[in-house]
């Protein structure tokens, strides 16, 4: 790879376990051919990943100044990043001293690492601060829009609310029916195995009933709706943002919060308690199938035992209270992720996935807080 007599160039000679790199020509600031040599070095360096040692030497007729020092400094950094060895022993002593001076000291490395750590901490703090402000701003805007709706000054259309109710309610009945029935069926089977040891199989009705109305009904419906409706909200609103439809609404003076988000969140807030009651009933019927078919209980006997278990309606109300909060969480998280998705298809996919993951995580945490609170207030 030899160039003109006044150009700078490099010659590579590959041996068994090392490469001999010979620098020749004119390596001065006035000569601008060093850029081409850098490209040659990077090309050879990347195409020979198995070489462990690079030895550098100078031609006897070479002319050089700080340009050569800069090039060798770059070569040393490139090899240090991939844990390769570099040999400068064949270079003149003056050049070696200059390279040693340009080598960062241990203190400088620690300072650079410390500076990078501070930058990472600062970026993390700024990210969480901006995310927190964005979430509270979104929730505050939602509350303001609800107040405008109550006072009759909102741009929300009842037709959109009705369509969202149908999508969140009636359209979700098949999957809610299947999951709730199988949940009640499974709990009855598992409970009967344990209660049979104490000759108390009749209490399977109590177990299924209390578990469904207290916990499983609201929780299973919330998880189903987070994966079904929450993801749908994120995808719909995110695609509208991707196609600049939300910007068009703002251009026409229409609030996206009132026009898009309020109908969806309120519909989910209304439909989830109704779906929870339906899921409770279906789950109890699933337990009834096991009780009557497997354990030979009569239908009347099973329902009487279920009625005894539900002596206090607080058991039902507590589950409905949870479901209302779960519905609000799912609706707000899904719409928030859709509104704050990026401007490409991959970011939209990440927003849809995040809406499900975040909603389910918050639901489980809030459910645990509800149980701790009810136990502390002696409401169980």
134 with 204, same domain?
Answer: no
How many folded domains does the chain comprise?
3
Burial of residue 295, with CB atoms counted within 10 A of its CB: 0-12 exposed, 13-18 middle, 19 or more buried:
middle
**How far is 133 from 139, CA to CA, in rounded Å?**
10
Is 82 a domain residue? yes
Is 139 a domain residue? yes
Burial of residue 172, with CB atoms counted within 10 A of its CB: 0-12 exposed, 13-18 middle, 19 or more buried:
buried
242 with 262, same domain?
Answer: yes
74 with 209, same domain?
Answer: no
Residue 326: name the closest of 240, 217, 238, 248 by CA. Answer: 217
220 with 303, same domain?
Answer: yes
Is 1 a domain residue? no
**Among the three residues 117, 132, 153, which one is the final residue of a domain in this structure?**
153
CA distances from 206 to 18, 201, 302, 305, 380 (A): 78, 10, 9, 7, 15
pLDDT tens per residue across all 380 residues of the chain: 444 446 787 888 887 778 888 888 888 777 665 667 888 888 887 887 778 888 888 888 888 887 888 888 888 888 877 778 888 888 888 888 887 776 665 445 555 566 667 777 877 888 888 888 999 999 999 999 999 999 888 888 889 899 999 988 889 999 999 999 999 999 988 888 888 777 777 888 888 999 999 889 999 999 999 999 999 999 999 999 888 899 898 888 888 999 999 999 999 999 999 999 999 999 999 999 888 888 888 888 888 888 888 877 888 898 999 999 999 999 999 999 999 888 888 888 899 999 999 999 999 999 999 989 988 887 76
**How far is 118 from 116, CA to CA, in rounded Å?**
5
235 with 293, same domain?
Answer: yes
169 with 227, same domain?
Answer: yes
**Among the three residues 138, 153, 168, which one is the final residue of a domain in this structure?**
153
* Residue 93 belongs to domain with CATH number: 3.30.750.24
Is 34 a domain residue? yes
219 with 131, same domain?
Answer: no
Domain that holds residue 217: 155-376
**CA–centroid distance for 298 within its chain:** 49
166 with 272, same domain?
Answer: yes
User: Model's pTM, two decimal places?
Assistant: 0.68
What residues contact residue 223 under an 8 Å CB cut-off, 6+ apart?
360, 363
243 with 281, same domain?
Answer: yes
69 with 114, same domain?
Answer: no
Please report which residue ranges of the chain form alpha helices under DSSP H.
Answer: 34-47, 66-81, 93-102, 106-150, 158-168, 173-195, 204-211, 217-225, 231-242, 245-251, 256, 262-293, 299-309, 314-339, 345-376
Is 3 a domain residue? no
**How far is 260 from 235, CA to CA, in rounded Å?**
13
Is 2 a domain residue? no
195 with 319, same domain?
Answer: yes
């Amino acid at each position: 790879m030899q160039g003109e007599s006044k150009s700078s160039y490099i010659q590579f000679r590959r041996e068994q376990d090392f490469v001999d790199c010979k620098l020749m020509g004119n390596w001065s600031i006035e000569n601008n051919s060093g850029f081409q040599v850098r490209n040659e070095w990077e090309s050879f360096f990347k195409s020979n990943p198995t070489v462990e040692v690079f030895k550098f030497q100078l031609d006897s007729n070479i002319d050089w100044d700080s340009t050569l020092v800069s090039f060798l400094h770059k070569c040393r950094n490139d090899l240090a990043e991939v844990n390769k060895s570099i040999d400068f022993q064949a270079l003149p002593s003056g050049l070696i001293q200059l390279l040693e001076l340009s080598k960062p000291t241990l203190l400088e490395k620690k300072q650079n690492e410390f500076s990078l750590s501070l930058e990472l901490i600062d970026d993390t703090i700024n990210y969480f601060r901006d995310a927190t402000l964005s979430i509270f701003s979104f929730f505050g805007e939602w509350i303001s829009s609800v107040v405008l709706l109550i006072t009759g000054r909102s741009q929300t259309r009842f037709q959109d609310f009705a369509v969202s109710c149908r999508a969140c309610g009636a359209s979700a009945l098949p999957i809610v029916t299947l999951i709730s029935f199988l949940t009640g069926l499974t709990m009855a089977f598992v409970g009967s195995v344990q209660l049979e040891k104490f000759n108390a199989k009749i209490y399977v009705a109590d177990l299924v009933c209390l578990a469904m109305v207290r916990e499983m009904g609201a929780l299973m419906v919330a998880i189903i709706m987070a994966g079904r409706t929450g993801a749908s909200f994120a995808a719909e609103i995110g695609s509208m943002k991707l196609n600049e439809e939300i910007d068009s609404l703002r251009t026409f003076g229409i609030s996206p919060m009132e026009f898009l988000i309020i109908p969806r969140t309120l519909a989910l807030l209304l439909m989830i308690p109704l779906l929870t009651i339906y899921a409770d009933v279906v789950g109890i019927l699933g337990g009834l199938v096991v009780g009557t078919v497997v354990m030979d209980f009569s239908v009347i006997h099973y329902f009487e035992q279920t009625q005894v278990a539900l002596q206090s309606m607080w058991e039902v109300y507590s589950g409905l209270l949870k479901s209302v909060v779960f519905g609000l969480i799912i609706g707000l998280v899904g719409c928030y992720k859709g509104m704050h998705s990026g401007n490409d298809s991959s970011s939209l996919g990440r927003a849809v996935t995040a809406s499900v993951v975040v909603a389910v995580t918050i639901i489980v945490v809030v459910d645990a807080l509800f149980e701790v609170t009810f136990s502390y207030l002696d409401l169980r």
